[in-house]
Structure 1
Amino acid sequence: MIVGYFRRIDGGEEAAPTAVLRAERCLRIESDGVGRQTARTQLIAGLSNGDVLVSPSIAHLAPSIVEVLRVSRHVHGRGATLRLVLEKIDTSVPAARNVLAAFAEFESRLQADRRNAGLYEAALSGVRPGRPRKLDPARIGLIAGELAAGRTAASIARELGVHPTTVTRLARLAPTGDDGLD
C-alpha cells in the first residue's frame, strides 16, 4: 500500500503537499502540525512488508536530515520503503540510503563546526560556556577561613546557596592558591 505523510511547515499550508501525495497515488494521507510527529509515528508503526511511505520533500518529512535518516531506518525496519518526491529519492535503491546517510553525516559535521565556532567566539569575548558561577573569587577565598574558624561546611553552604560538597571542594583548593574557577 502507498501511504503519504507530510508535516505542516510554518502553520497552515495543506493543499500543495496533499496534491503531490494524491499525484503519487497515495491511498492514505496523514499529516502533523508544526512541531508534532504523532501521525508519522503511528503511520510508520502501521507499515508492513512492501508498503511505501511517500513524502513531498525532506522538509515535509522531518526537520533535519539526521531525522530523515532515522525515519528511513524505522521504515526499512518494518519492511517498507521511503520515497521523497521533490528530491527524487527512493530508498528501495541502496544507493539512496547511502546518500541519506552521507547527507546526515554532513549535516552533523556542519552543526558541530557551527557549535565550535560559537564557543570559540564566546571564549574570545571572555564568556565562559555553561552555567554561571554562584560564587565569586572573593567569597571562595573566605570559605577556608570560615572552616578554620570552626563553622561547618553545611552552614556555610546554606548561607552561600550551594551544596556542602562544593564548600569542601573549594576549601581543599584554597590552600594551594587556586581560586577554583578552572
Structure 2
Amino acid sequence: MTDTTPKTERLIGYARVSTTGQELNLQLDALKQAGIPDKLIFIDKASGAKTERPGLAACMTELQAGDTLVIWRLDRLGRSLKHLIEIVEELKGRGVGFRSISDGGIDTTTASGEMVFNIFATLAQFERRLIQERTQAGLKAARSRGKKGGRPKISANDPKVQMAKKMSKNLSISVGEICSTLKISRATYYRFLKIKGE
C-alpha cells in the first residue's frame, strides 16, 4: 500500500564563518528563530573562497523537493555572486526554495522574491559580459601597440633552460628532483627541453 500522506515542507539552515574567529551564534540564533531545528542546521568553519565545504555538501544532500534552504545572509553561501546564483539555480531545478533572512525580499518561494533573485542573476551576467568586453578591448589595444598576449617566450639562453638541459643529461637525477631544484613544473621542464638554441 502506497503512503499518500502529504510530505511536510522543511526549512533547512546553513551557516558559515571564516576561520578568522567570526561569531557563529548570531547566524544560529537567526536560523532557530526562523523555525529551523538544530539537527537541520549545517555549519562550515571555512573562508568563502574555499571550494571544500563539507557542511554545505551535507546540506545539499539533505535537501529534497519541497524543502527551503534558509541562510542568514547571501555572503554566507556563495564564494562569489556567480557561485551563489549557480547554487540557487540548482536548488530551483530540484524543486527546493531559497530564503535569506538578512537580505529582505530574497525568498524564491514567493513571486516577488524570485523576481529580486532574477535581477541578481541578470546583473551577474551583465558583469561577466563587461569583463569579457574589457578583456577583449585590452588585448586589442595591446596588439595595436605591438604586444602579444599569452605566455612570454623563453630564450634558449635563459639560465633555468640551460640548467634543465644540463641536469637532464645526468641520468642519476630524476625529473622530480630537477623540477624541485629549479622550482618548475614537469610541463615547464619538458617545454624547456624542446627549446632549440639560437
1:98 matched to 2:118? yes
Q: Out of 7, 27, 30, which is 2:42 matched to?
A: 30
Q: Corresponding residue for 1:155?
A: none
Residue 11 of structure 2 contacts residue 67 of structure 2 at CA under 8 Å; is this kept in 1? yes
| Unmatched 5+ stretches in structure 1 | 140-157, 172-182
Q: Corresponding residue for 1:6?
A: 15
Q: Summarize deviations over 1:15-70 as a string: whole Å, max 9, x none.
A: 22212212222222112222232221221122112111011111111121111111
| Unmatched 5+ stretches in structure 2 | 1-9, 159-188
Which stretch shifts more, 121-130 or 16-25? 121-130
Max Rg structure: 1
The total of aligned residue pairs comes to 147
Residue 55 of structure 1 contacts residue 61 of structure 1 at CA under 8 Å; is this kept in 2? yes
1:122 to partner: Cα distance: 7.8
**Match of 1:18, SS?**
helix
Q: Out of 93, 107, 111, which is 1:77 matched to?
A: 93
% of aligned pairs identical?
Answer: 26
AA in 2 matched with 1:70: E
Residue 42 of structure 2 contacts residue 58 of structure 2 at CA under 8 Å; is this kept in 1? no
1:115 to partner: Cα distance: 5.0
Distance 1:125 1:20 in 2: 56
1:133 matched to 2:153? yes
TM-score of the two chains, using structure 1 as the length reference: 0.63
Residue 4 of structure 1 contacts residue 53 of structure 1 at CA under 8 Å; is this kept in 2? yes
Residue 7 of structure 1 contacts residue 60 of structure 1 at CA under 8 Å; is this kept in 2? yes
Distance 1:124 1:41 in 2: 47
